[in-house]
Structure formats: structure tokens, C-alpha cells
Structure 1
Amino acid sequence: MKYAVITGASRGLGAAAAQQLLAEGISVISIARHENTELKQVAAEAGTGYSHYSCNLGSEEQVQNVFSEITETILKDAEKIFVINNAGVIEPIEVAGELDSSLVMNNVQVNLTAPILICNLILQKAKKTAVEIVIANVTSGAAERPIHGWSIYCSTKAAINMFTMTAGLELEKAESNSKIIAFSPGIMDTDMQATIRSSSEEAFADLKTFKNYKESGSLRSPETVAGALVKLLLGSQLENGKVYKVNDLL
């Protein structure tokens, strides 16, 4: 049995990837604070397994409890497990010196700490089995350059890239059959883009540029980007620790 465990599967890239994986006959486990009921319908029509777990990824306790339960359940009959750490937050969009401490803490927890804990737990549990784990950590081009007003987002995405590269190195050294990669999806037409466009020029100097992306139709659909990610995961010989960019895949 093949499973896909997807965080942030209620909307955007996560929901699009979940739908496409269900169509491939892969059972999907959705993790989000709110369930996307359309996924349940898609799964029923495809005759594919589906379940949803409510989880606040900003809570370390919830992450540990929920993912311990998920891994204990699916490792019993899994042959391969795909993990897509997709959930992320952009806030705070603000310059250093004006940052909201609670938003900083939540950003670090959701974008960095939660994916690390999830990877660690699943890889640890899978060691005792022959199950192949394939992990994709969703990153951003912001990991590779400073962007005005995005100091925390840039930092957490840069950190998840380095974690991915290091964990990939370790899996190779251990001669594991599991893989871990990062996936940079580019600019998509999602709720995160709407949040970015609602910020101020004082907090985010590139505001006009991002508004123009929407107005000019430059934003890719989540379905297009998800197609590239799913094709990568299902059809490629993945390189451990590599950061894959959607522009190189489409």
C-alpha cells in the first residue's frame, strides 16, 4: 500500500497535490486545522483511501501526538510513504525592529520546527521496517535571497533547505532506501499571495511587483505546480538532499 501524508492539504498546493495523488491510487492522509471535504469526495470516486487529521502545526505537542498516531497506523501495511511538508505561513511581513514576537514564533514553528519534527519522527519509526519514505519539504526562492519585510520567512526557508540537504547526506551515508528533497514551487495563485498583496509598502518594498504578478496573470495555478511535484515524486530517480525548482521541471 502506498500512502501520501500531506500537511496543509486543505487548500492551495497541498489540496491540488492530494487530488492528483488520489487519482494515482495513492491513499492520502490530510493534515490541516480544517478538512477539505472535496478530497473525501474525490477519494470516494477514485476508490482510494483517505483520512483527515486536525492539527495545529504551531503546537509541538499536537505535531508529536498526531504524527505518532499516523505513523503507527500506516506503517502496519505500507510499502511506500510520501510525505509532503507543504504547510507554511508568510507572516510576519514587516521590517526588523517592528516584528510581532508571537508571529515570529509561529512562523518558525510552522515553517521549520514542525517539518523537522515530522521528518525525524517518520524516519525514526520507518527504520524498524523496510518501508521506503520519500519526503518533499516545500521551500521557496526566498530561501536563497533577502527580501525586504520577509526576514523570518526567508530565514525559515533557508533553514529547511539546509536541514533537507544535511538529512539527505545522512541518508546516503546510512545507505537508506529513503529519500528527502526540497521543492521550490515558484509563485502561485494562492491565499499566501493574497496575504502578501494585503501588506503595506512600508513593511514590504516589493508590494507593487507582487500585485502586478496577479494583475498580469503571471501566477501559476496550484494544479500546474502540483502536477510537476507529483510527477517528480512518482517518476524520477530522486537525488537525496537536492532542492528541486519548478521552473526546471515544467
Structure 2
Amino acid sequence: MKYAIITGASKGLGESIAKRLLQEQIAVISVSRTENIELKNLAIEKGIEFKHVSCNLSLEKEIQEVFMEIAHCIFEKNPTEILLFNNAGVIEPIQKVGNLDQTPIIRNIKVNLIAPILITNLFLSQAPLTNTKVTVINVTSGAAIRSFEGWSVYGSSKAGLNMFTQTTAIEQADLKTKNVIIGFSPGVMDTGMQETIRSTSGDAFKELEKFKEYKEKNLLLETDTVAQRLVELVLRGNPESGRVYHIKELLES
């Protein structure tokens, strides 16, 4: 049986990914600070295993404890494959360098970069014990390859995640494992993160008006649409390890 672990599954893209996977009869472990009751009820309706685990991804000790327990519970069931969606992310602080506060800088790097590294490392270390294939999907951003004023921390954390993804893929190929790791850039979606961006000061974020226009002109992608294309890629698209996929290419294919 396949198991999927999704960080940040209580809302936004994570919630949409979880719903799509439950429709595919794949067991889901939701990891977030709050539980989504709608997902729990959907799993009951479909008769699929579902579990919510609370975790603060900015606390390294909590990450290690929570994911060690998750790994233990899953690997003892000898799953055919584990899908690991490192989806949780934060965009704050949105501010120009010189006006940044220390606390949100550290939290951003911990959630966006350190947490996916720790979680991926744990599961790739355990997978050989049961000969289980692990497919890792790191949700990244266009900000990883294009600079936005005010997004220095967010862009840097996502650029680091891309490099981690590509380097891990090379290592896994060299080890001749069957594991796959990809990046996925979901584009500009109608999520809480976009609400945060639109509430930013124009002094801190130069492209504020453009992002407000995305909402006003209904140009934001629906998370269900993005999740559907991503899940199709992961389950049936034979994704290329080390590649960073963008939603635009998936929508056009």
C-alpha cells in the first residue's frame, strides 16, 4: 500500500493534495499545527486510512520526534511506496534587507529549508530497511530563480531547497536506489499566502500592485487544479528525479 505524508495539509495546496490522494485510495498522514476535519471525514467516507499529526516545523527537536514516530508507524507496515510532500512554507518576512527582524528570518529558513532537509534525510535513511521506494516532492517557488524586492529570505530558502533537491537526486542515482526527488513550483495560487502578500506595505514589496491585480482580475490558480496536475505527475507521469517542475508546463502538456 502507498502512504502519503503531507506537511501543511490543513489548508491551501496541502489540503487539495490530500483530497486528491484520498480520491486515489492512498493513505494520508497530514502534518500541520491544526487538523482539517473535512479531510478526516472524506477519509472515513472513502474507507481510507488517515491520520493527523500536529507539528511545529520551526522546532527541530519536534520535527525529529514527530517524524521518527511517523516513520516507525509507516515502515512497520512494509509500504510499497511513500510519497513525501514537503509542502508547508512561510513567506514572511516581506521586507527589504536592513529592515528585517531576526525571529521571522530564522523561522522562514527553518520551515522552508531545514524542515524538508531533516524530514527527507530521515525517510531516505530508513527506506533501505524495508526496500521501500520514497518519492519526495519539495514545493518550491518561482522566487527561487527570480529576485523579488522584499523577498530575499523567502527566495533564498526556496533556492536552497532547489539545490538540495538536485543534489539529493544525484546522490540517490549514484547509490542506485529507486528513490525519486523532485521540486514543484505551483505558480500564483489563491491561498492565504497571497492574502499575506497583498496586505504588505508597498515600501517593503515593490510588486505589490501586480499581485493585487492577480486577485482583482481572477488570475490566481485554484489549488485543486494545481494539486490534480501534481498528483497526476507523481502517480502516472514518471517524474524525472532532480527536476524542478513548474505548473505552467503541466497545464500545457
TM-score clears 0.5: yes
1:162-241 aligned at under 5 Å gives the runs 162-241=163-242
Query: How much is the aligned-residue C-alpha RMSD, in angstroms?
Result: 0.5
* Paired residues for 1:20-169 under 5 Å: 20-77=20-77, 78-169=79-170
The one-letter code matched in structure 2 to 1:182 is G
CA distance in 2, matches of 1:174, 1:238: 18
Report how far residue 129 of structure 1 moved.
1.7
What is the CA-CA distance between 1:214 and the residue it aligns to? 0.2
Q: Distance in 1 between matches of 2:196 and 2:2?
A: 35
User: Take 1:127 and 1:183, find their aligned partners in 2: how far apart are those partners?
Assistant: 25
Does the residue aligned with 1:128 lie in a helix, a strand or coil?
helix
CA distance in 2, matches of 1:237, 1:16: 21
Offset of residue 198 of structure 1: 0.3
CA distance in 2, matches of 1:180, 1:3: 16
SS for the counterpart of 1:127 is helix
Residue segments in structure 1 that go unaligned for 5+ positions in a row: none
TM-score, length basis structure 2: 0.98
Instruction: Note the alpha carbon deviations across 1:49-100, whole angstroms, 9 max, x for none.
Output: 0001000000001100000000000011211100000000000000000001
Could you tell me how far 1:12 is from its partner in structure 2? 0.3
CA distance in 1, matches of 2:66, 2:130: 20
Once residues 57 and 229 of structure 2 are traced to their aligned partners in structure 1, the CA distance between those partners, rounded to angstroms, is 25
Amino acid at match of 2:46: A
Instruction: Supply the distance in 1 between the matched residues of 2:212 and 2:126 (Cα, whole angstroms).
Output: 44
Q: Which whole-Å deviations, capped at 9, do the CAs of 1:179-213 have from their partners, x for residues lacking one?
A: 00000000000000000000001000000000000
> Which structure 2 residue ranges, 5 or more long, are not aligned?
none
- After superposition, what is the alpha-carbon deviation per residue over 1:101-139, rounded to whole angstroms, capped at 9, x for unaligned? 000000000000000000000100112221110000000
